[in-house]
Amino acid sequence: MWREQLRQLVALADRPNITIRLLSRDAAPHGGIHPLTGFSHYSFPDPADPRTVMVETLTTDLRVVSEPDIARYERMVDWLLEAALPAEETVALLARRAGWPEVPGPRVPTDDPELVGPAEG
């Protein structure tokens, strides 16, 4: 099951709107600062839609829309991305952990959920 999930992530990484980056346990973003809770950052093409951060808590999600607070979360995202593995290395690591010695290619079209992994042939 776990390997199939990793293979699905590798297949999804082919999509142009998906980037997967891993942050190792020993990575130290900006002076070792890590977020205390999970959060999601949203921005939209329409300027009428505010940038938003959703913070995960034990009982609910907290919606943050204050510009100074959003700026702090955006800095945290930048720090996390600086510390994370590059996308190509992430996909290669996931492929190895899924039992593939290297990133398979060419992979099958990712719009078919039944077909993930190396192409036959």
Q: Are residues 45 and 66 in the same domain?
A: yes
Query: Residues with Cβ < 8 Å from 68, sequence gap 6 or more?
Result: none
Cβ neighbours, 10 Å, residue 75: 12
Q: Are residues 90 and 72 in the same domain?
A: no
Percent of the chain with pLDDT over 70: 82
Look at residue 110 and tell me whether its pLDDT is greater than 70: no
Count: domains in the chain: 2
If you average pLDDT over residues 83-110, what whole number do you get? 78
Query: Residues with Cβ < 8 Å from 61, sequence gap 6 or more?
Result: 54, 55
If you average pLDDT over residues 28-47, what whole number do you get? 85
Provide the residue range defining the domain that includes 18. 1-22+85-121
Q: Are residues 73 and 96 in the same domain?
A: no
| 113 pLDDT tier (thresholds 50, 70, 90) | very low
